[in-house]
């Protein structure tokens, strides 16, 4: 008869979270489970157990995940830490390689295994090395330990069923799975006062299509807007083909909707879009942008684009640059195509040289920077509510975000204030200067 495993409690646990905001939500839920039995510490050097929650979307993110894990392993080797656990996307996709290649790790959990974390800790302290990677499934509960101040991300779905030819997400996180509306409502209620709730998923606009009781993103938004602890709602990762009239109307009529939308377009050349397995055309994307600007005055539109995709000719690239000039997006992110083994695009002909990718990336950033500066200059002299986030010790000013700035991906607003500022609160700031992607202003008392 196997001896019962002792329940381990009271350990100091430090977590390193890598990757996207969806990964951050997973980390916060894991912290919630860990906090039931252990103490969470912010300083990794003080942790007895170190957990690295990894990303594996691109080769660069996989390298970062492995390097962070090896760095964390030094604390264990030096006797500062007792155990090392690796969780998330990297073990989900590459557990076979990691089990042999990372003997420093005591346990591995996948993207849907966070609920097992305390049991796994018991097992590794009993002397076992544990592979707890299971198939992608549901969320691990609603209890979270917040890692953001005043705002919070809400992951409304996981996985993806779009099968873009460059993307590993379906093979890592499985097919698209919406979280039932009532579960999301209860989760948001548990977060306390949230000035800004940011809805995220691989494709937020697809929300509810897979549920037994069909729902939609606008329905969810209305339910979340009714909660008294929610100040505003921001949308990220809205695929263009699913931006409906109902959703547009929600922007127009719902006072809690922040007039900002992130639409990952990825390209503007029709042939490249087809090779990517993306729905829509460059002309349709441009028409959508013009419609959003027309029907939702002042809306800030952000997007992301990939350059260097196999078969992207000079003509196709020029179309993308021209699209940026016509679209006049408030902001955009650009990425070089990463050839990922296991994706359909991996075996496509006409792969682009790395030097060409780099040169094109620079041209895209240069083109968009001019657009951003023009947009920002048009805001000088205007006053906006700014969500205060901190103090810049170099500039000796406060900084924060207006409605047209999402956390981490957009610029900041640096502002002077003759009175003390409380982080997580809104202040009226008059913008006085455009500073590249950022703005400079003064608090209006």
Nearest residue to 263 via CA among 230, 232, 231, 296: 296
Enumerate residues 6+ apart whose C-beta is below 8 A from 183: 139, 142
Q: Residues of 254-276 as b/e, b for ≥16 C-beta within 10 angstroms?
A: eebbbbbbbbbbbbbbbebbebb
Alpha-carbon distance 298 to 292, whole Å? Answer: 9
The pLDDT score that the predictor gives to residue 3 is: 57
Alpha-carbon distance 153 to 24, whole Å? Answer: 8
Q: How confident is the model over 177-236, as pLDDT tens digits?
A: 999 999 999 999 999 999 999 999 999 999 999 998 889 999 999 999 999 999 999 999
Question: Is 81 a residue whose pLDDT tops 90?
Answer: yes
Q: How confident is the model over 156-192, as pLDDT tens digits?
A: 999 999 999 999 999 999 999 999 999 999 999 999 9
Question: Is 5 a residue whose pLDDT tops 90?
Answer: no
Which alpha helices (DSSP H) does 9-126 contain, by range?
A: 21-34, 59-77, 89-101, 117-125
Tokens of 121: 């800790």
Confidence band of 1 (pLDDT split at 50, 70, 90): very low
φ/ψ of residue 277, rounded to 5: 65, 40
Q: How confident is the model over 115-124, as pLDDT tens digits?
A: 999 999 999 9
The pLDDT score that the predictor gives to residue 140 is: 76
Alpha-carbon distance 15 to 22, whole Å? Answer: 16
Beta bridge partners of 305: 266, 334
The pLDDT score that the predictor gives to residue 4 is: 67
Provide mean pLDDT across the span 92-113. 97
Q: How confident is the model over 260-290, as pLDDT tens digits?
A: 999 999 999 999 999 999 999 999 999 999 9
Q: E strands of 145-276, at which residues?
A: 151-155, 157-158, 177-178, 196-200, 233-235, 257-262
Which alpha helices (DSSP H) does 256-387 contain, by range?
A: 270-275, 282-295, 314-327, 354-377
Enumerate residues 6+ apart whose C-beta is below 8 A from 336: 306, 307, 308, 354, 357, 358, 360, 361
Alpha-carbon distance 376 to 349, whole Å? Answer: 41
Confidence band of 16 (pLDDT split at 50, 70, 90): very high
Half-sphere exposure in the Cβ direction for 326 (13 Å, CA): 16
Q: How confident is the model over 393-433, as pLDDT tens digits?
A: 999 999 999 999 999 999 999 999 999 999 999 999 999 99
Task: Compare 72 and 2 and report the one with higher pLDDT.
Answer: 72
Nearest residue to 345 via CA among 277, 267, 282, 280: 277
Given 3-state DSSP classes, what are the helix, strand and coil percentages for the chain, each rounded to the nearest 5? Answer: 35, 25, 40
Question: Is 360 a residue whose pLDDT tops 80?
Answer: yes
| Burial zone of 120 (CB within 10 Å; 0-12 exposed, 13-18 middle, 19+ buried) | buried
Provide mean pLDDT across the span 363-380. 97
The pLDDT score that the predictor gives to residue 143 is: 87
Alpha-carbon distance 105 to 131, whole Å? Answer: 10
* Residues 107/119, Cβ–Cβ less than 8 Å: no
Q: N- to C-terminal Cα distance for the chain?
A: 72
413-416/438-443 β-pairing: parallel
């Amino acid at each position: 008869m196997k001896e019962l495993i002792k329940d381990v409690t009271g350990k100091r646990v430090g977590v390193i979270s890598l990757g996207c905001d969806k990964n951050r939500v997973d980390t916060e839920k894991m912290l919630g489970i860990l906090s039931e039995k252990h103490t969470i510490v912010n300083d990794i050097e003080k942790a007895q157990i170190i957990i690295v929650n990894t990303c594996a979307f691109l080769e660069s993110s996989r390298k970062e995940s492995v390097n962070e894990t090896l760095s964390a392993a030094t604390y264990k080797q030096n006797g500062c830490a007792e155990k090392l656990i690796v969780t998330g996307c990297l073990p989900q996709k590459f557990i076979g390689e990691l089990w042999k290649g990372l003997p420093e790790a005591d346990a591995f959990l996948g993207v849907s295994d966070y609920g097992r974390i305390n049991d796994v800790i018991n097992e590794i302290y009993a002397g076992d090395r544990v592979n707890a990677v299971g198939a992608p499934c549901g969320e691990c509960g609603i209890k979270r330990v917040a890692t953001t101040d005043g705002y919070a991300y809400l992951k409304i779905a996981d996985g993806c069923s779009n099968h873009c030819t460059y993307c590993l997400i379906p093979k890592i996180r499985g097919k698209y799975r919406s979280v039932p509306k009532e579960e999301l409502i209860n989760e948001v209620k548990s977060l306390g006062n949230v000035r800004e709730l940011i809805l995220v998923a691989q494709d937020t606009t697809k929300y509810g299509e897979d549920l037994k009781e069909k729902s939609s993103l606008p329905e969810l938004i209305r339910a979340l807007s009714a909660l008294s602890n929610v100040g505003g709602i921001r949308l990220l990762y809205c695929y263009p083909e699913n931006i409906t009239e109902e959703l547009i109307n929600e922007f127009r009529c719902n006072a809690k909707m922040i007039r900002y939308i992130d639409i990952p377009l990825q390209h503007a050349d029709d042939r490249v879009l087809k090779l990517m397995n993306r729905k829509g055309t460059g002309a349709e994307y441009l028409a959508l942008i013009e419609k959003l600007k027309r029907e939702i005055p002042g809306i800030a539109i952000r997007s992301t684009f990939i350059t260097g995709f196999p078969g992207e000719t000079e003509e196709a690239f020029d179309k993308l640059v021209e699209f940026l000039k016509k679209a006049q997006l408030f902001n955009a992110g650009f990425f070089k195509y990463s050839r990922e083994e296991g994706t359909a695009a991996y075996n496509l002909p006409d792969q682009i040289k790395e030097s060409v990718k780099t040169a094109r990336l620079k041209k895209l950033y240069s083109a968009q920077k001019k657009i951003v500066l023009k947009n920002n200059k048009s805001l000088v002299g205007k006053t906006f509510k700014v969500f205060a986030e901190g103090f810049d010790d170099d500039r000796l000013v406060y900084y924060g975000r207006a409605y047209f700035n999402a956390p981490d991906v957009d610029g900041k607003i640096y502002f002077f204030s003759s009175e003390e500022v409380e982080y997580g609160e809104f202040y009226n700031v008059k913008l006085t200067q455009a500073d590249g992607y950022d703005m400079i202003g003064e608090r209006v008392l």
